[in-house]
Amino acid sequence: MFTPDYRPAPDLLAQRVILVTGASSGLGREAALAFARHGATVILHGRNTKRLEKLYDEIEGCGAPQPIILPLDLARAGEVDYANVEQAIRARAGRLDGLLHSAAHFAHLTELAHESLEHWLTTLRVNSAAVHALTRACLPLLRAAPDASVVATAEMHGLQPAAYWGAFAVSQGALLGWITILAQEWAPLPGLRVNLLVPGAVASPLRSRTHPGETQASRLAPAALVPLWLYLMGPDSRGVSGQVFEASKLLAR
């Protein structure tokens, strides 16, 4: 199991191909950089291509394997788009060893009475249905990898729903059910694992919107999560599946 003194090998992820959703911002951006610095070819997903290109240049500049940019709006993507993602990864990278889901849609904190059907559908579509659809589409590649890891990311209110967190909390809570079901279904397949990461308070554009009253000093820097991401994505977590990793309990402050 992960401990705060975990020290990943510098080339932990060499030869691996890892797709990171939400790589254009916040946690996904930091995770993609860390995976690349540890030898992985990273596939950078997001909507904002300018920010993805900036990250691409940063990764190339540090001598890491050349990344791949994958723009896709998860609020609009359908089965064909997800199938195209799998085809594109197969054609351009030839394999897929890891999938970090870090994209999230957040609109507001408000009473359920004010949340429309459209708002619910978009939030569930991006935060939970896309996680399932993308993983499902990539399954042939993940199955073919010798040691594949899928990591979903959820906000604490997914595990502890509370007033005003509405569709966002429900969409993130759905991921706990999803990883539990998937881990059981994958139990006979030792080369496949799926886990849930709950980052806690980490400085990011999203955090400033979900917790506007919080001080910067009370938030972790995204880089603090790097050991946990590397543990979950690399060979050291082989055999660990269906678990919830709460960063606030696992990382030394």
Ligand X SMILES: NC(=O)c1ccc[n+]([C@@H]2O[C@H](COP(=O)([O-])OP(=O)(O)OC[C@H]3O[C@@H](n4cnc5c(N)ncnc54)[C@H](OP(=O)(O)O)[C@@H]3O)[C@@H](O)[C@H]2O)c1
Interface residues with ligand X (CB under 6 A)?
A: 22, 24-28, 46-48, 73-75, 102-105, 126, 153, 155, 172, 199, 201-202, 204-207
**Helices 166-185 and 130-144: crossing angle, nearest 10°?**
20
Of the two residues 132 and 238, which places its CB atom closer to ligand X in the complex? 132
Distance between CA atoms of residues 147 and 230, nearest Å: 14
Q: How far is the CB of 65 from ligand X (least distance, A)?
A: 21
Buried b (16+ CB within 10 A) or exposed e, 215-245: eeeebbebebbbbbbbbbbbbbbeebbbbbb
Distance between CA atoms of residues 12 and 16, nearest Å: 9
Of the two residues 5 and 118, which places its CB atom closer to ligand X in the complex? 118
Q: How far is the CB of 190 from ligand X (least distance, A)?
A: 27
Residue 248 CB partners (closer than 8 Å, separation 6+): 198, 200, 201
Tally of CB atoms within 10 A around 136: 15
Report which residue's Cβ sits closest to ligand X: 26
Of the two residues 166 and 199, which places its CB atom closer to ligand X in the complex? 199
Compute CA distances 19 → 36, 217, 253, whole Å.
11, 31, 28
Q: What is the dihedral of CA 18, 22, 26, 32, to 10 degrees?
A: 10
Q: How far is the CB of 176 from ligand X (least distance, A)?
A: 13
Q: How far is the CB of 207 from ligand X (least distance, A)?
A: 4
Among residues 84, 76, 165, the alpha carbon closest in space to that of 125 is found at: 76
Of the two residues 27 and 226, which places its CB atom closer to ligand X in the complex? 27
Of the two residues 7 and 218, which places its CB atom closer to ligand X in the complex? 218
Q: How far is the CB of 49 from ligand X (least distance, A)?
A: 8
Q: How far is the CB of 155 from ligand X (least distance, A)?
A: 4
For the chain, give the number of residues: 253
Of the two residues 55 and 93, which places its CB atom closer to ligand X in the complex? 55
